[in-house]
Amino acid sequence: MAALLSMENVTGGYGDADILHSVSMSVEDKEIVVIVGPNGAGKSTAMKAVFGLLNVRGGRTVFDGDDITGWSPNRIVQRGICYVPQVDNIFREMSIHENLEMGAFLKKGDLSAAYDRVYELFPDLKERRKTMAGSLSGGQRQMVAMGRALMLDPKLLLLDEPTAGLSPKYMEQIFQISRDVRDTGVAILLVEQHAKQALAFADRGYVLAAGQNRHEGTGADLLADREIAEMFLGG
Ligand SMILES: Nc1ncnc2c1ncn2[C@@H]1O[C@H](COP(=O)(O)OP(=O)(O)O)[C@@H](O)[C@H]1O
Ligand SMILES: [Mg+2]
């Protein structure tokens, strides 16, 4: 069976210079895949390439049977991929509920099933749904951002460093919620600085460095590799 997402030898960058050099990765249905690697490796850029935010000069990206290379982010969203950037991913001046509503702006008709689904995944948000998003803790804000993305019922969720700046307790909570999300049938591709914890939690991982693939494998295999641990995971 073909992968849900397949990025094949993608080369590209923001302007004329290439940041990604023939990067390949895939995500299967209902799989959690993590991208790790040093700062500036091109992790966020790889995610932006999937979401149509890069000048792609080589290779292609196939999603759910469609070649989406060169598609606009808007069209990609409608096709079933939602993206949560690392920063500025919520509307601070709006309530939690309004944030979710904004997430569903492309959706026509009754949103009650979408709200129910998100509030079931994030009971904390339901309790506080009238609270202004800007007044929430970092972990709760991340939940709002994820919930907003899930309003469109994507098949694939892209998360850029969802646990950045969070306490270990919130990090574990975000990972647990990600598993719950996956169990509802959504595949997840995420970037993580907390490489060891993320590899322990993900099904598979990719190590990127200098805009290129370095290693790939199951999270457990990557964690067990001494050389990878020393080079990329802080020993
Ligand atoms: N908007 C941008 N315009 C130009 N260069 C960028 C932009 N964003 C990132 N870069 C460059 O691309 C490279 C990879 O960055 P990034 O993908 O953000 O790395 P990572 O997420 O792995 O830390 C870096 O050299 C960075 O300076
Ligand atoms: Mg990044």
Q: How many domains does the chain have?
A: 1
- 156-167 tens-digit pLDDT: 999 999 999 999
16 in a structural domain: yes
28 in a structural domain: yes
125 in a structural domain: no
98 in a structural domain: no
CB 44 within 8 A of CB 191: yes
41 in a structural domain: yes
Q: Which of 66, 90, 192 is nearest to 143 (CA)?
A: 90
35 in a structural domain: yes
The CATH number of the domain holding residue 211 is: 3.40.50.300
Q: Which domain covers residue 3, as residue numbers? A: 1-75+189-235
10-residue averages of pLDDT along the chain (235 residues): 94 96 98 96 98 97 98 96 92 95 85 94 94 94 96 96 93 95 96 94 96 96 90 77
12 in a structural domain: yes
149 in a structural domain: no
pLDDT at 195: 93
Q: Identify the nearest ligand to the CA of 41 by its number.
A: 1
Q: Say if ligand 1 is within 6 A of residue 12 CB.
A: no
Pull the structure tokens for residue 9: 């030898």
Report which protein residue has its CA nearest ligand 1's atom 25.
40
Total-model pTM: 0.96
- 74-108 tens-digit pLDDT: 999 999 999 999 988 899 999 999 999 998 887 77
